Structure 1
Amino acid sequence: MTFTSQLDHLKRHSLVVADTGDLEAIRRYQPHDATTNPSLLLKAFELPGYQDLIDAELAAVKAEGGAQETRLAHAVDRLAVAIGSEISGLVPGRVSTEVAARLSFDEEASVRKAHELIELYDRRGVGRDRVLIKLASTWEGIRAAERLEREGIQCNLTLLFSDAQAQACFDAGVFLVSPFVGRVTDWYKNATGRDYAPDEDPGVQFVRGVCERVGRGGYDTVVMGASFRTTGQVLALAGCPRLTISPALLEELAAAQGDVARAVEIPAAGERPAPLDEAAFRWGHNQDAMANDKLAEGIRRFHEDQAALEALIDERLA
């Protein structure tokens, strides 16, 4: 009898994205896309397969000279693009590369940083059609994405926790949004003391709602469920266009046998709501206590990981 894993069945309903920078994991699970962020770059410092690449990139940064703060930020960008370029050779789709969290409320700086990242990829022979620029779903991040999309630089809007964020991203015509599952559920579990079955899981229900909203509005934006805690959450979103999954959960899915039923259907287009202006966006997001908490926390955590990464780089440069 042929063994068909849950991961194989899941791939029939959703494009699977690897939430890792580990090249061996990417080779093993053969995702369509992959993503990087400061947290994943920190882990890359622990992987033997990356040490030569890290040494080469930091040597190049050191040779360029410049002010220490500028040099550290540039080193993070170079490493992200170097690792992203390695990953792009293993996946047929795209690699998401993140704009620094400290720029989440600065539209102009976010656009400049996106251009710098695209230029670094171009130097390595990786075209913009293989890259997604990852930005936080703040008002300023969404506005930066809108401008970049008009230039042909496609974006992945992350740290998305509210309907207002999702709607503003759709209005802006961004290529992809990453509504979070696990962090939403974490907030509700902490607030209520409850555990949730997959179908009643608040994070699962939120992402299903985003999928319904994108379908009803007839938007072209791709929805990618992110931040999973369990395989139950993943399977409850089978049929969401894309799912970004950690190696640990990919391994569980690959080891488990059994059919996976489609759990998400994208509805036919209906009436499109009026676009949100800034005041409506901020008010709508403000009304969701979970979304306010998790967006702010997510930006802080990404920034903390970036700072830790810069400290490691500083040691290596010395």
Structure 2
Amino acid sequence: MQFFIDTANLADIQEAHDLGVLDGVTTNPSLMAKEGISGDERVRNHYKAICAIVDGDVSAEVISTTYEEMIKEGEELAALDSKIVVKVPMIQAGVKAIRYFSQKGIKTNCTLVFSAGQALLAAKAGATYVSPFIGRLDDISVSGLALIAEIREIYDNYAFDTKILAASVRHSAHILGCAKIGADVMTGPLSAILGLLKHPLTDSGLAQFLADHKRALEQKM
């Protein structure tokens, strides 16, 4: 499973990259605003800065909601860097845009997916990635992981090339659940990825090792 980080924070992206597990980045206007990035020029320069750090795909979201505007904006985003994946919402115009981009060889990420039917349409249109928002489904007491499993079954039935990108990942348990089910990619905060490092027996074992090492040194003195 590939690990993407869902942020516009360059320090977090660099840290994930330095950890050696980062495969890509997803971001959106809300995450850009959180970092104080606004205005077309600043946003696009920020995408370039992200691409300079990351070796893999970087999802850049269109703001437009009409087909013509999505095409114009998406082509402009794709021209920024070969790593850019145009992130398109799961709406009727968005599905049409995905088909257009697919025919032009431009990678796409169909976002705001909450049902298997939506994921099926995205795959039929040729989306590179489909992003089911598992955390937001959990928020309304619907199993996000169950949706991932349902999409996995459908995609495997028909050998779709579209990758399942589990989005709105909140914590390490989400990551492990997605890995067990067979999501191709997960995207979440750095904290969720770093959480996989943690185990109380690792901490206590290391503390014991260091204590034993200290005692051995003191005995030699």
Indicate whether the TM-score tops 0.5: yes
**How many angstroms apart in 1 are the aligned matches of 2:164 and 2:114?**
13
Partner of 2:23: 32
Q: From the CA coordinates, give the structure whose radius of gyration is larger.
A: 2
Partner of 2:191: 248
- State the secondary structure of the residue aligned to 1:89: helix
Does the CA-based 8 Å contact 2:86-2:109 persist in structure 1?
Answer: yes
**How many angstroms apart in 2 are the aligned matches of 1:235 and 1:80?**
32
Partner of 2:48: 85
Alignment deviations for residues 63-87 of structure 1 (CA, whole Å, 9 cap, x no partner): xxxxxxxxxxxx6332232112111
Q: 1:79 to 1:208 in 2, by over 3 A?
A: farther
Q: Residue 117 of structure 1: CA displacement?
A: 2.0
By relative contact order (CA 8 Å, sep 6+), the higher-ranking structure is 1
Instruction: State how 1:143-182 maps to structure 2 within 5 Å.
Output: 143-182=96-135
Q: Does 1:186 align with 2:139?
A: yes
Instruction: State how 1:155-234 maps to structure 2 within 5 Å.
Output: 155-188=108-141, 202-234=143-175
Partner of 1:196: none
Q: Residue 257 of structure 1: CA displacement?
A: 7.8
Q: CA RMSD in A?
A: 1.8
- State the secondary structure of the residue aligned to 1:40: helix
Q: Provide TM-score, normalisation by structure 2.
A: 0.82
Q: Percent identity?
A: 29
Partner of 1:21: 8
Q: Provide TM-score, normalisation by structure 1.
A: 0.58
Alignment deviations for residues 174-201 of structure 1 (CA, whole Å, 9 cap, x no partner): 1111111011111126xxxxxxxxxxxx
Number of equivalenced pairs: 195
- State the secondary structure of the residue aligned to 2:159: coil
**How many angstroms apart in 1 are the aligned matches of 2:183 and 2:87?**
19
**How many angstroms apart in 2 are the aligned matches of 1:254 and 1:79?**
35
Q: Which has the higher strand share?
A: 2
Partner of 2:206: none
Q: 1:216 to 1:230 in 2, by over 3 A?
A: same
**How many angstroms apart in 1 are the aligned matches of 2:163 and 2:200?**
28
Counterpart of 1:109 (choices 30, 49, 69) is: 69
Does the CA-based 8 Å contact 2:59-2:85 persist in structure 1?
Answer: yes
Does the CA-based 8 Å contact 1:77-1:117 persist in structure 2?
Answer: no
Letter in 1 for 2:44: V
**How many angstroms apart in 1 are the aligned matches of 2:197 and 2:146?**
25
Q: Residue 232 of structure 1: CA displacement?
A: 1.4
Partner of 1:70: none
Q: 1:23 to 1:166 in 2, by over 3 A?
A: same
**How many angstroms apart in 1 are the aligned matches of 2:24 and 2:197?**
17
**How many angstroms apart in 1 are the aligned matches of 2:30 and 2:7?**
9
**How many angstroms apart in 2 are the aligned matches of 1:87 and 1:209?**
33
Does the CA-based 8 Å contact 1:158-1:177 persist in structure 2?
Answer: yes
Q: 1:233 to 1:111 in 2, by over 3 A?
A: same
Partner of 2:62: 99
Q: Identify unmatched segments of 5+ residues in structure 1.
A: 1-13, 46-53, 55-74, 190-201, 259-318
Alignment deviations for residues 114-151 of structure 1 (CA, whole Å, 9 cap, x no partner): 122234x1xxxx23xx1100010112101111101111
Does the CA-based 8 Å contact 1:138-1:165 persist in structure 2?
Answer: no
Does the CA-based 8 Å contact 2:123-2:160 persist in structure 1?
Answer: yes
